[in-house]
Structure formats: structure tokens, C-alpha cells
């Protein structure tokens, strides 16, 4: 799977993904009103507004980007109706030729992890049929429970040619409370990085493994270390833009050939119309504002690679 992502990155010259993490407050008023007029002030109405919002952004950006990253929590908050839209979004992105990174940060042990892996990445046996659930291409995974929690996902990646991004050094301000703790002289994130390389060794897809790592843009000095510790690991890089990460902060996540990382931006793109820089587009043309934000992000990152 990672080779397919790399192929699309090369084709678009855009090492980025759009985070489809819609809050209802991001959706322009006219879109919300239309959905609520049709379905009432219900979870179904809210979910429909999210779907219409997503579709407009995808339609305006799919030809510029290799991948999207829907965050499942933004859909789960609307219950079953929201999860239906999550699946609808995944399927629509596939129709547009995009790689879909499901941001679910799952992690448990044994049969529970196996069930998560089957539901999000793999297949479940129903009588004589083998059926896929959410069917994303790559899934974010929390490694806190160790190999017991990650191995079931790796097994599905190997059998289905899917991918993982394992949390290693996250972009949030309090990540250091645990991740930076020293263990035998090394921070915890370095121990996790070593495990990611180990887990990925049996799941190679060309030069890189299908087992990748989440490495935040907000800690550039650590990403430089992690790039050296994980030479065969592709990075998913959150934290650019709204969280404070800059293009200069990203450069250590990449290799000299300009590969090795895909950078995520969520509200910086999907809510671009709310920014002063793009206000001339207005809420009625929010999709066009998102398209311009993608173009600007690609140019910004390209300037340091």
C-alpha cells in the first residue's frame, strides 16, 4: 500500500493529505440550513451537512492530492448517522482515486485488535462471503499495549496490502508527559520507533514498510532523530499550519529525494474560507478556498524540499 501512496505523491508532486475532520461549526451556514430544512434538527440532518461539506471539498481538491485522512471521531459524534457518512466519504474518496487514511487511533489486544483490524482494514467472514467494513487503505494505531495490540493490524496489512501509521511522537503540547520520558537513557518515543521498524521489517512494500509512523511537525528536532532511527518507515506528519508547525519544521521528516513523509492539514484546508487570507472566496465558494489552500500548502512545503 505504501508504494501506491508514493506513486500518487510523485504523480501529484504533493506530499500532503487533506484531513477531513469536519466540525459542524466549520460547515457554512447555507449548507447546514439546507440539510436541517430537509431532515430537521436531527443527527441525520447534521450528518447530511457534513457529507455535503465533505463532497464539495473532495470535488475541489481530489486532482491535486494523493490522500485524505478522515478522523472518525468527527463522524462518531453524530452516532450511526455520522458513521454512515464516514463510510460514504471513504467510498467517495476511493471513487476519486484517493488513498484513504482512516484516523481512528485504534489499539487493544488479541481478538479485540483483530476485530478492529478486520473492520477498518480487512474483511469479516459472513457465512460463505468475505466482506469489508470501512475498507480504508491505511489506519492510525496506538501502540501503548505493545506488540499484542499492533500485531493483529500488521497481519491484516500483510494479507490485504494495507498500511498503518503508528503513533510515535505526536504533535500535541502534552505529548511529552509520556513520550519524552527517559527509559534506560532514551526517551520513550525512541523505543517505540525501534519497535515500529521491527514490526515493519516483515511488511515491506519496496523501499518502505507498510507500517509507518506518526511524527508531529511541532517537534522538528525530534523528527530529525526519528528519521535516522526509522529509515524504512514512512511518516504521517500532523501539526502543520493550525497547530503551529511550519514548512521549515517539516524538512527533517523527508529524505533527500523528497520522499519519506506525507503532511496532513485539516482545518487549514477544510475551513480555509474562514481565514483572512481566503475571505474573498466567501462561504458560498468554500470548496474553491480549500483548493487554493491546497495549492498554497504544496508550494510552501516544496520550497523547503
Identify the residue whose cell numbers are 452516532.
Answer: 79
Contacts of 82 (CB under 8 A, 6+ apart): 43, 46, 47, 50, 74, 75, 76
Check 105, 151, 195, 274 and give the catalytic one. 105
Instruction: Tell me the Cα Rg of the chain.
Output: 19
Give the pairing of strands 182-183 and 211-215: unpaired
Mind spelling out the 3-state secondary structure of the chain? CHHHHHHHHHHHCCCEEECCCCCHHHCCHHHHHHHHHHHCCCHHHHHHHHHHHHHHHHHHHCCCCCEECCECHHHHCCHHHHHHHHHHHHHHHHHCCCEEEEEEEECCCHHHHHHHHHHHCCEEEECCEEEECCCCCEEEECCCCCHHHHHHHHHHHHHHCCEEEEEEECCCHHHHHHHCCEECCEEHHHHHHHHHHHHHHCCEECCEECEEEEECCCCHHHHHHHHHHCCCCCEEECCECCCCECHHHHHHHCCCCCCCEEEEECHHHHCHHHCHHHCCCCHHHHHHHHHHHHHHHHHHHHCCC
Q: Which three cell numbers stand for residue 124?
A: 469479516
277 an active-site residue? no
Active site residues: 105
Amino acid at each position: 500500500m505504501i508504494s501506491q501512496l508514493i506513486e500518487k505523491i510523485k504523480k501529484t508532486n504533493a506530499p500532503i493529505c487533506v484531513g477531513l475532520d469536519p466540525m459542524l461549526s466549520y460547515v457554512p451556514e447555507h449548507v447546514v440550513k439546507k440539510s436541517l430544512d430537509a431532515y430537521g434538527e436531527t443527527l441525520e440532518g447534521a450528518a447530511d451537512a457534513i457529507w455535503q461539506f465533505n463532497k464539495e471539498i473532495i470535488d475541489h481538491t481530489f486532482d491535486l492530492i494523493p490522500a485524505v485522512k478522515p478522523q472518525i471521531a468527527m463522524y462518531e459524534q453524530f452516532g450511526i448517522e455520522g458513521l454512515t457518512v464516514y463510510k460514504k466519504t471513504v467510498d467517495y474518496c476511493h471513487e476519486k482515486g484517493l488513498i484513504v487514511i482512516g484516523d481512528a487511533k485504534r489499539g487493544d489486544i488479541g481478538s479485540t485488535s483483530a476485530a478492529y483490524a478486520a473492520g477498518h482494514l480487512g474483511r469479516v467472514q459472513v457465512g460463505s462471503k468475505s466482506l469489508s467494513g470501512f475498507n480504508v487503505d491505511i489506519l492510525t494505531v496506538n501502540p501503548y499495549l505493545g506488540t499484542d495490540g499492533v500485531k493483529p493490524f500488521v497481519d491484516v496489512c500483510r494479507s490485504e496490502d494495507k498500511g498503518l501509521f503508528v503513533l510515535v511522537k505526536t504533535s500535541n503540547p502534552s505529548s511529552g508527559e509520556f513520550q519524552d520520558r527517559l527509559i534506560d537513557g532514551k526517551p520513550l518515543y525512541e523505543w517505540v520507533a525501534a519497535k515500529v521498524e521491527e514490526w515493519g521489517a516483515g511488511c515491506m512494500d519496496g523501499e518502505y514498510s507498510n507500517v509507518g509512523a506518526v511524527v508531529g511537525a511541532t517537534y522538528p528536532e525530534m523528527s530529525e532523530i526519528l528519521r535516522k532511527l526509522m529509515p524504512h518507515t514512512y511518516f504521517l506528519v500532523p501539526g502543520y499550519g493550525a497547530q503551529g508547525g511550519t514548512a521549515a519544521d517539516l524538512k527533517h521528516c523527508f529524505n533527500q529525494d523528497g520522499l519519506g513523509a506525507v503532511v496532513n492539514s485539516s482545518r487549514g484546508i477544510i475551513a480555509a474560507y474562514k481565514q483572512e487570507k481566503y475571505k474573498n472566496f466567501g462561504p458560498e465558494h468554500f470548496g474553491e478556498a480549500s483548493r487554493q489552500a491546497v495549492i498554497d500548502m504544496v508550494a510552501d512545503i516544496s520550497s523547503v524540499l
